[in-house]
Chains A and B, each alone.
Chain A
Amino acid sequence: MKFTEDHEWLRPDGDVIVVGITEHAATQLGDVVFVELPEIETQVAKGDEIVVIESVKAASDIVAPLDGEIVAVNEALTDTPGLVNEDPLGEAWFFKIKVDDMSALDAFMTEDEYKDHVGA
């Protein structure tokens, strides 16, 4: 599993990457009450804001970590946004993205590097 500076985790799964947010990010957000997911088959560019997460107090975005196509979204979050707080690294994945070259993952942080990044 790899990590971005924007507190997303990226887990390779066959020829796609599963994307979620870290425990640190979920804690920072507080109670999540609404998640707006992208449409399947959307072409996204790195840096595009593609998910909106609303907590009791504020809205945040998840940005596309790489260029690619959204091939799956986690509909469970639509009905149960609180999963983001309960199981950010497990059940609360947000979307799966298909990228041209899986080796692009190598550019992201390892878990240890991410821990340094957030000062944990």
Chain B
Amino acid sequence: MSRRDGGDMAETGTATGVDPRQLPLRALHAEHGAKFVPFAGWEMPVQFAAGVMAEHLWCREKAGLFDVSHMGQLRLPLSADAALETLVPVDVLDLAQGRQRYAFFTNETGGVLDDLMIARRADDLFLVVNAACREADIAHLRAHIDGVEEIADRALLALQGPMAEAALAALMPGVAGMRFMDVAVIEWQGVALWISRSGYTGEDGFEISVPAEMAEAFARALLADDRVAPIGLGARDSLRLEAGLPLYGQEMTPNISPVEAGQGWAIQKVRRTGGARAGGFPGAKVILDQLAHGAPRRRTGLLPEGRAPMRAGTPVFDSADGGAQVGTVTSGGFGPSLGGPIALALIEAAVPTDARLWGEVRGKRLPATQAQLPFVTPGYKR
């Protein structure tokens, strides 16, 4: 038996020749039977004893605890909001205190350098960026903004699932009043935890920034609740795939625009053509033109008709034989909640949305139906 490919995540941003960084919760993960893999320069739990399938389903039914401490946590002065707006196509100036917004850094050709969360708090702007992009993002920010601070002494946990609110509120009742994309600072055992009601699984849930030295105590307090189980990166990927959430490096890259990635919704009116602060970010000409007149490619969901998963890189055709390639699978695997293979693909915009497509898997063309995204209905508390 030999490994044919590493799946979607294993090759994304993996540092080579460098000792991986260890998570503050590593010992706790090992206690729960974690299998570790190198990911973006960190040694990350890919799954726990229960396995990816069971972890995925647990998170859809109860509450899953994820260690996402590898992600970058950054802090900018409030006065940097105008400068930050020149790097992202989203409305930062009007972001209300206590609220968080999804954003992406763009390049001059309209591609995506990273996607991130921006929160406006009482005293600062708080950013969460992808692990693999962390260093590049910091350099990019520092080239334009003074006072960019990397927060290296806090872990980041995500609690996701329909029972996440009940489980977290048992420790800190204040979270129950938060709605989707609210941020708050709430004390637990006398220490300030930074909480946002968000996540990347398609479920209701929270991301919690906690001082590294108390991360284990906090995680243990959550895991003491029968509704909470530890979930690894493997299920995090299948959950976000079912939720139709794009991943940087897969659905979004420096060569794929946010419009092509299906993320045009995240660009507010005020930054679009005719808006009060239209443009003014890298690649604005390309992106605003695509918003107005359409992009050359679009992201679609694929439901392969058989049982064979169509993994990232699978070429997509519009006929069972012959014809030209019309696209490529950007992420693909198995959807445990759906009980079958699912994929996200980037295809030529001219392909009709109801056209049957074929993915070429190991030299064979296998049929797939285009599907509306998300594959599963999200449970956000708006």
Which residues of A line the B interface, CB within 8 A? 6-8, 21, 25, 29-31, 33-34, 36, 49, 52-63, 78, 81
Contact = CB atoms under 8 A, between A and B. Distances in A.
Interface stretch (B20-28, B47-55, B348-356): B47-55
Interface string B1-26: 11111111110000000000000000
B260 to A, nearest CB: 26
A8 B2 CA distance: 10
Contacts of A30: 47, 51-53, 234
A81 B307 contact: yes
A25 B1 contact: yes
A72 to B, nearest CB: 19
A62 B6 CA distance: 16
B283 interface: no
Interface stretch (B147-155, B289-297, B333-341): B333-341
Contacts of B182: none
B238 interface: yes
20 contacts: A6-B1, A21-B1, A25-B1, A30-B51, A31-B52, A31-B53, A31-B54, A33-B307, A34-B309, A34-B341, A49-B2, A49-B4, A54-B308, A56-B56, A58-B3, A58-B4, A60-B1, A60-B3, A61-B2, A63-B2
A56 B334 CA distance: 5
Contacts of A54: 308-309, 334
Nearest to A62: B1
Q: Among A55, A56, A62, find the residue whose CB has the most chain B CB atoms closer than 10 A.
A: A56
Contacts of B9: 57
Contacts of A53: 1
Contacts of B56: 56
Nearest to A79: B307
Contacts of A7: 1
Contact of B1 (A33, A61, A81): A61
Given A6-B2, A33-B341, A61-B2, 16 more contacts: A21-B1, A33-B309, A49-B2, A49-B4, A52-B4, A52-B362, A57-B8, A57-B9, A57-B10, A57-B46, A57-B52, A57-B333, A58-B6, A61-B4, A62-B1, A81-B307
B318 interface: no
B53 A56 contact: yes
Interface residues of B, number: 29
Q: Which 3 A-B pairs have the closest CB atoms?
A: A58-B7, A57-B7, A31-B53
Nearest to B5: A59
A59 B311 CA distance: 9
Interface in B294-329: 307-309, 311
Contacts of A36: 308, 362
Given A30-B234, A33-B309, A36-B308, A58 B1 contact: no
A49 B2 CA distance: 9
Contacts, number: 79
Contacts of B47: 30
B114 interface: no
B336 A56 contact: yes
Contacts of A21: 1
B65 to A, nearest CB: 19
Contacts of A59: 3-5, 7, 309, 311
A63 B234 CA distance: 26
A58 B234 CA distance: 10
A54 B341 CA distance: 11
A105 B308 CA distance: 32
B303 to A, nearest CB: 14
Interface string B338-369: 00010000000000000000000010000000
B237 interface: yes
A36 B9 CA distance: 23
B368 to A, nearest CB: 14
Nearest to B8: A57
A33 B234 CA distance: 14
B333 A56 contact: yes
A21 B3 CA distance: 13
Contacts of A29: 1
B47 to A, nearest CB: 6
A56 to B, nearest CB: 4
A31 B311 CA distance: 16
